[in-house]
Amino acid sequence: MIDSFFLAFFLFLSCFSYVSFSLTSFDTQVWHVLLIPILLSFYRSTDIWVSLKVELFYIPLVFVFLIFSTYDFMGLRSYFSYTLFFLVFVVVAQSLRYYKHSVFYKVFCISSVLYFLFGLSQYVWGKFIFEFIVHVRGTDDRGVSSLAAEPSYYASISLLLSWLILIFSRYRPSAVGKYSIILNVISIVFLAQSAIGIMYLAIVASLVFLSRSNFRIFFIALFLGIIGFLFLNHFDGRASQLIGKLFEVGPYDLMMADASINLRFASFFLPLFISLDNYLIPMFFGHYLTVAQNYSAMFHDIFWYKAFDAERIMSFLGSMVFELGIFGVFYLTHYSIRAYRWSKDKVFRAKELVLLFSLLVSPLPIAMPLVAIVFASLLYVNNENLVSKRYTTVK
């Protein structure tokens, strides 16, 4: 009983990784890390080593990478981000083998409701009313951020929570799960008003609802999307402007016209190009700004907005390939092979992996715990060959 409580508390803190209560000046918080040693003490070390030897190997590997990295804030931040990613993965993977999955399901549903309520409160009473809880960044033409640092992160978290609810219910959520997902959709479209969140929401809806032939839910999501688009157009927010320009001028001209989209695409494309141009040799931590500036003459006409002044790579996939090089490619490839081979429905799992990697292109921080939870959940949920007798799936 006590170990289940620690697991639920760990998951809850992982869902709210931006809540700082003004105790630190960082965006991403690490309160959940304090519970990792406690949770690991409940597991047999031999089980952890046998089933998660790849992830455990990468924890000392990134420490070796630190030796060849800069010892400034950005270098140390990257090191700790990777360490936290693999630690959270290990803890969640082991927890999925030993604890009822209903614990995960309930935490994700409750977190969805809380994000919605805080976002709704900001929408009604102002974007900065919870500034004493979380560091808020935003402008007047953007949506609210709820308990995240900015609207795009709020949308990303709402999307990840919805996907986790679907994963743990085998894409047939209970009534509570369905209502939680609806609240997350409302959060993405009406509250966060995030263009990138709406785009990924459309991808998820196409993958989940059409693949599972649940046309009733698909048309409900489509209806909410249409209403949301009309809503955004009415208020003339940034998301509606971007969507309108996308249909008007096309994706390339939109990227060339909008500074934020230009920078985000550069954060994905440049690290991959530089890494391939250097034969996937690891670039280690804290060197991105220096290396990227060597390519400014080649791409300055395309990536015109701060692409060569950014110290941090705003893309999960771009970061892992640039900083870890061939080791990052190996991990992502090895993970994909495991996820595919260990699934019963291989066609649908392939679609899930496509969705996962499309999300990894976006500016998801490597240190965001929900990303590691999604990685572990795709691998271990609904996999009877890798779980103990205590395995229980939410019905």
- Give the confidence band of 158 by pLDDT, cuts at 50, 70, 90: very high
At residue 215, does pLDDT exceed 80?
Answer: no
Given a cut of 50, whether residue 264 has pLDDT beyond it is: yes
Q: Distance between CA 252 and CA 262 in Å, rounded?
A: 9
153: closest CA among 376, 372, 359, 377? 359
Q: In 10 A of CB 121, how many CB atoms? A: 15
228/223 Cα distance (integer angstroms): 8
- What are 14-41's pLDDT values in tens digits? 999 999 887 777 778 888 988 988 888 8
Give the chain's mean pLDDT: 81
Counts for the chain of helices (H) and strands (E), in that order? 20, 0
Q: Return the DSSP state at 25.
A: S
| Count of Cβ atoms closer than 10 Å to residue 294 Cβ | 11
Q: What is the pTM of this model?
A: 0.89
Binned at pLDDT 50, 70 and 90, residue 122 comes out as very high
In three-state secondary structure terms, 134 is strand
Token pair in block for residue 366:
């490597």
